[in-house]
Amino acid sequence: MRILFRVLAFLDAISLVFMVMQLWVIIHNFSKTTLPSEKISNMLMFPMFFLIAIGAYGLFFQKKYGFLSYYIQFPFRLYLWIFTVGFITLLPEALGNYEDKWFPILLKVCFMCEFIRLYLTIRGHMAKNLMVQE
């Protein structure tokens, strides 16, 4: 399980790199957003950045706050589309394939992977707690 949590922390670090680029765009274009839902999601991106950073650090060292921060992040990750393997949605563009048919498929894969990650995190957290109590 230790390797799994370190891999998940590494994937979160990759997400943080892509989030920095998104936050940069949000900072420069925040005054141009008019819809309240866009403003809310833009404002939620900043605390999510710090929650993901704290969670990645905590998961890497298997600290309790790493697990708890992921449990807090989970619903916001779904709302803001910040997925653990979200970078796979950029693969068609990186390969020069700009057709719109791949994005919906890869987005569904990201959703599925996020729920699998939640399941594995809960199982690993329970296993870690059982090992500590013995």
Q: What is the pLDDT of residues 102-127, one digit of tens each?
A: 889 999 999 999 999 999 999 988 88
- The mean pLDDT of 58-85, rounded to a whole number, is 91
The answer to whether residues 43 and 33 touch, using CB atoms and an 8 Å cutoff, is no
3-state secondary structure of 26: helix
Q: How confident is the model at residue 133 (pLDDT cuts 50, 70, 90)?
A: low
At 115 the pLDDT is 96
Give the pLDDT confidence score for residue 130 in this predicted structure: 63
pLDDT for residue 57 is more than 90? yes
CA-closest candidate to residue 45, choices 3, 4, 71, 80 = 80
Residue 132's pLDDT is what? 60
- Helix or strand or coil: residue 22? helix
CA distance 5 to 99: 34
Cα-to-chain-centroid distance, residue 131: 27
